[in-house]
Every structure is written in structure tokens, then in C-alpha cells.
Chains A and B, each alone.
Chain A
Amino acid sequence: MIQRTLFQKGLLLILALGLLTSGSIASAESPEGTSRFFSPPPEDSIPSGPFGDLVRKGERIFTQTRKYAHPYVGNDLTCESCHLNRGRKAYSAPLWGAYVLYPRYRKKNHRVNTLEDRIRGCFRFSMNGMPPPSDSETIKALVAYSFWMSRGAPVGEKLTGRGMINLESPKRTPDPFSGKKVYAARCALCHGLHGQGRKSHGETAFPPVWGARSFNQGAGLFKVSKLAGFIKMNMPLSKGDSLTDQEAWDVAAYIDSQPRPKKP
């Protein structure tokens, strides 16, 4: 008898929700936001033919780096781990913002760098791997992908949303102890209490943020200021810009105080 009424309750609920879906809810939606950033061409506009094939190959390498560029990868990250939405998201050093600025001078190695050099740098440090030769298919595909994505962007211009954000200097010196608390509350759910990341059926789902399988000490994110800027705009995933600047500095200081592979 009790079960009977419960079943009826369940059915009523479904009906009620059904009504809701068809009616009032539609009006609660906000229109699709217009973007203040450069919009790269949509993915379904990649042309067919050899150029399109190279672009698609670049996209695959970018999102499944270990699978498609195996010999050059030394950790559990992909290019997309730091360049979100397949290299499209503003303030995660999007490819459309990068392509139009190279070749350019970099203080880090005191010379004019090509895009190829820059990508090889990310392999060496961020992916803790072996840089592919400049004339390899891997580099050609990644350059083609970047070129295609910047179609329509003004050459030589620093576009809004390019690179990562430079946070203002913190009011108080970044403090790993406060950072540890932020990490436990806002990051450990996905990246694990020990920074190890999480797997789903054997595949990396959330990348490790420190330890042997993360980026090495030569990587851009090993600089607390760079990491703080990345975190501020991109983390927790889908909740970018929800930490205070100080929290971003503190948690960056904590993460960069943890062990990781040495600079090669």
C-alpha cells in the first residue's frame, strides 16, 4: 500500500517536471553571450583536403598528446590541460592570440623565437618530454592548427585574452600555508589531495598538478605569478574568476612549493 502511493508520487513528479520543461523554464534563459574576444573559426569549417587533414591532425595532437605524439611526452598532461577548450579559451594562452605574434623576442632565452621554438619549449618543460624536431610532422601539424585558428586575426596585434593574465602584486606575500587550505577546499576534489590528479577507467581525467607526472621546473607555470594568473582565470574548471586574487596567489605558491621533476 505504502509502495503504491510512492509510485504514484513518482509519476506525479515526472508529470509535473514535464510540464515545467515545456512551459515557464524557457523564459528563464539568458541569450547567448556576445564575446569581447576574437572568435576563432568554428571547428566544422576546417576544409577538406591535405591542409584540412594537417589541421585536424594538429587538433588531435593538441587534445590527446600522449596518444598522437607519444615519443615526445613525459607526463600525464596534454596541451589542452593548460590551453583550455582546445587552445581556444581566452587567458589560457589561446593559439589564436599566439600565432599572430610570432616570431618574437623572448627574454627567457634572449633571442627571436619562432612559433615552432615556442611549441618545442612547451614539450620540453610543460610536457616534461623531448622536443620534436622543428621539421617533424608533429610540429607542422600543431603550427597548421594554430594558423587555421588565427584566421581573420590581425597580425602583430596583442589581442584581448591572449596569453595569461598578469595579476597585480598581492597585498601580502603569497603564503603556501593559506594556499594549502584553498587547495583542500577548492581543488582537491578534482586534482586529489596529493596533487596526483584522477583517472577514469585508466585514462587521466584530471591532470596531476605536482609530482612525477606533472610539468617540470622549467615550465612557465613553475613561476608563481604565471600560475596565479592561470588559476585566477581558469580554475576551478567552469568557475574561473571565482577565487580572490590573494587566494590565487596563495594556492599558486602552495602548488609550486611541492615536488616536481627538475628542469632538464
Chain B
Amino acid sequence: MRSIILAVLFLPVLFFWEGEKAMADDLVAWGKHIAEAGNGKPGNTACMECHRLTGGGMPSIGGPRIAGQTMEYISREIREVQQGKRYGPVMAGVVQNLSKRDIQAVATYYSQLSPPKVSDIHTPSPKLVSLGKQIAHRGLWKKNIPACIQCHGQNGYGVPPLFPYIAGQNRTYLLQQLLSYAFLKRKDDPQGLMRGIAKRLSTEERKAVAEYFSSLSPPR
């Protein structure tokens, strides 16, 4: 008798739990579909064309690695591109028709992956890498620049949810973003933190940190 009552009491809970899980699975499946084939609306291109299905990115065209960035960060960046707050000339042409749910789905999908690093097209210069390492770990306090790893985490692995990892990102993309913060219209960084830092770096220093972080392995 008691077990029947218990069962009756718990069944709905069980269904609810199963339901939640199924919905989460659905979300990831839909995210993967968008990554592979787009959401079917005009003006949307499959993410894999530029980020690969596994999210490893395409160094040859400066397509960033996005696998393993947090769900919050990925969706935030897409929304900011849609709203025009983040300079993203390529992305702006392909994500306008993503709905809120589409964004959540594709962000969840990519946040769960960790493919191996896609090798960069470029051989790093030892001199720049060593200057970059110095800046990354000690900063340039004369210009009020803290060590990059203070905000991007040990080894540049990111500090969830909103400080992206930069270790193992491709060099072309890293350099482009530093330039976008410094001179173009990437204006979505909280409190202008990254804009200030990118502006205060010199041309050589920007190259150096891009070389250094792209020479590392991505997290996990």
C-alpha cells in the first residue's frame, strides 16, 4: 500500500525530470542542427562554414574557436552582434534571424564541446612570443595594463561566465579583436575594460600577445 502511494506521489516528479532532460537534449540537438545546416530561415548560414561543426574555428579566415566558451558568453556575443553593439562584419550577415531559443540552443551545443586545437597557418616568432608572455603574466603597469591572465584566468583559460578563454585561439582572430576594441566598433565589453587595455597596447605589443596566446593550447 505504502509503496503504491509513494509511486503515485513520485511519478509526476519522475515525468517532470524526464521531461526536463528531454527538453535539454532537444535543445542541444536543435543547436547542433543550426550549427550544421542553419535554422532554415533566409539569411542564416550554418555556423560550421566558419567555426566547424566541432567549434575548433578556421584560422585561415580568422573564424574564431568557440567550442568550450561558456553558454552565457556565446549567446551574449551573438545578441550584441544582432544589436550592433559588437563590431562583427562577418557575423552580422549571418545571425540576424536567430531567435532567442535558437541562440540558446546553439550556444549550449558549442559550450559543451572541446575538440583538439586546429593548427594555425602561421609559425610564431620566438621574440614576439616571449614579449607576449611577459605582458600576459606581468602586465605593463606603466601603462596601467594588468597581466592578461588576471582577467582571463590562469594560462588564459577564461573566468566563467563572462571572461572568455583566449589561450589556443587563432592568431588572426586575436589580433583582429584587439584592433576592433582599440580602433573599430567592438563596444560590448563590460565597463570598457578591454577597450582601454587594447588602446594602451602598442602595435608590437598587440602582435606579441596575439602570438603568445595563439601558441598555447586551449583549455581542457
Contacts and interface: CB of A to CB of B under 8 A. Distances in A.
Interface in B146-167: 146, 150-151, 153-155, 157-160, 162-163
A10 B159 contact: no
Given A89-B141, A198-B160, A238-B145, A186 B176 contact: no
B60 to A, nearest CB: 9
Given A3-B49, A9-B89, A200-B159, A25 B179 contact: yes
B203 A237 contact: no
Contacts of A9: 89-90, 93
Contacts of B157: 200-201
Residue among B61, B62, B182 with the highest chain A CB neighbour number at 10 A: B61
Contacts of A89: 141
Contacts of B116: none
Nearest to B194: A238
16 contacts: A7-B49, A10-B90, A13-B62, A14-B176, A17-B179, A20-B183, A21-B203, A26-B203, A32-B143, A86-B138, A201-B153, A201-B154, A201-B155, A203-B153, A205-B150, A239-B191
Size bracket, chain B contacts: 35 or more
B162 A205 contact: no
A25 B206 CA distance: 11
B2 interface: no
Interface string A183-207: 0001001100000001111010110
B118 interface: no
Nearest to A9: B90
B149 to A, nearest CB: 9
B196 interface: yes
Nearest to A35: B142
Overall SS of chain A's interface: helix
Nearest to A86: B138
Counting from the closest, the 3 A-B pairs by CB-CB distance are A200-B153, A205-B159, A200-B159
A164 to B, nearest CB: 17
Interface in A1-15: 2-3, 6-7, 9-11, 13-14
B62 A10 contact: yes
Contacts, number: 106
Nearest to B140: A32
Size bracket, chain A contacts: 35 or more
Contacts of B172: 14
A226 interface: no
A11 B63 CA distance: 10
B154 A14 contact: no
A32 B154 contact: no
B170 to A, nearest CB: 11
Contact of B45 (A6, A14, A21, A28): A6
Residue among A189, A203, A205, A237 with the highest chain B CB neighbour number at 10 A: A205
A240 interface: yes
B219 interface: yes
Given A29-B202, A198-B159, 16 more contacts: A6-B49, A11-B61, A13-B62, A17-B175, A20-B179, A20-B183, A86-B138, A89-B141, A189-B162, A199-B159, A200-B153, A205-B151, A206-B159, A238-B144, A238-B197, A240-B144
A208 to B, nearest CB: 14
Contact of A10 (B50, B158, B206): B50
A56 interface: no
Contacts of B183: 20, 25, 28
A263 B145 CA distance: 35
B61 A14 contact: yes
